[in-house]
Copies of this chain bind each other. A is one copy, B any other.
Amino acid sequence: MSKTILSSPNKEVIIGFDQPFCVIGERINPTGRKLLAAEMKDGNYSRVEADALAQVAAGATVLDVNAGIPLADEPKILADCIKLVQSITDVPLSIDSSIIEALEAGLSVYQGKALVNSVTGEDESLERVLPLIKKYGAAVVAISNDETGISTDPDVRYLVAKKIIERAADHGIPKEDVIVDPLVMPVGAMNDAGLQVFALVRRLREELQVNTICGASNVGFGVPNRHALIAHFISMSASMGMTSAIMNPLHQEQMVAVQAANVLNGHDPNCAAWLKANRPPAPEGEQGSRRRGGRRRR
């Protein structure tokens, strides 16, 4: 049974089949966020700070940090943000870039065991990213596409994932440190997108015993009431064995899906986390009484 351990100086997060679903906050990412991109480029990280705190408060146990801004000094910005986020939160981070120098800059300042997002099945990616993972003792997200692109055939995606795991082993990286992203297509464009992922997740879990991750939002691209669809995709994936997702913890519907999946998969003893998150607020009068140490009126 695979356990992926990530850490910050003060905290360890375990991703695994017998663990609560791991919520990796996706917000610190300038893609599609013009204002954030402009600010980050100028070295103004106030919004990064706010996003970090808000996501942890909403229940993210890992934060993804991405600094992909065109024509910017991505390695420096990514390293700055990693240092900043580590100084104000205690959750482990996912260092997210498609540029090898940025990944290395982020890893070199990171304290603890990071998740690196990501390596693909392309030879160039494998040969450049895996040595870094080994050097820094990190874990890595393995995206199941290769030189031929993203196959619509789930069997091909499975084989790409298997290849990445084997190559990682060649570099001395255990499969516990490889989390596979089976790639989620928009269900509005591909009717069996959900089924494909469910079948892949189950196979990756049962045949390769690896943890899995996904960018959950993609499944709902272009359909109305998409947050409800994404929420059920998360809980259904979790029932098939998905162990983590890069998602927006500020969407309440999606966090309720994670909480429900934890309860129903037996990973929330005595429903403690569910009760804490879903208990209706006490009436103001009662709160007041309690705050003053008074008894409840009958």
On A, residues with C-beta under 8 Å from B are: 187-188, 191-195, 198, 219, 223-225, 228-229, 231-233, 235-236, 238-240, 256-257, 260-261, 263-266, 268-271, 274-275, 278-280
Contacts and interface: CB of A to CB of B under 8 A. Distances in A.
Count identical subunits in the complex: 2
A155 B179 CA distance: 33
A233 B187 CA distance: 21
A264 B232 contact: yes
B233 A236 contact: no
A235 B266 CA distance: 16
A229 B264 CA distance: 8
Contact of A239 (B231, B236, B274, B280): B236
B224 A194 contact: no
Contacts of A235: 232, 235-236
A64 B231 CA distance: 29
A157 B239 CA distance: 21
B224 A260 contact: no
Given A239-B198, A260-B232, A261-B232, A225 B188 contact: no
Contacts of A191: 266, 268-271
A219 B275 CA distance: 15
Given A191-B266, A264-B233, A266-B192, A225 B271 contact: no
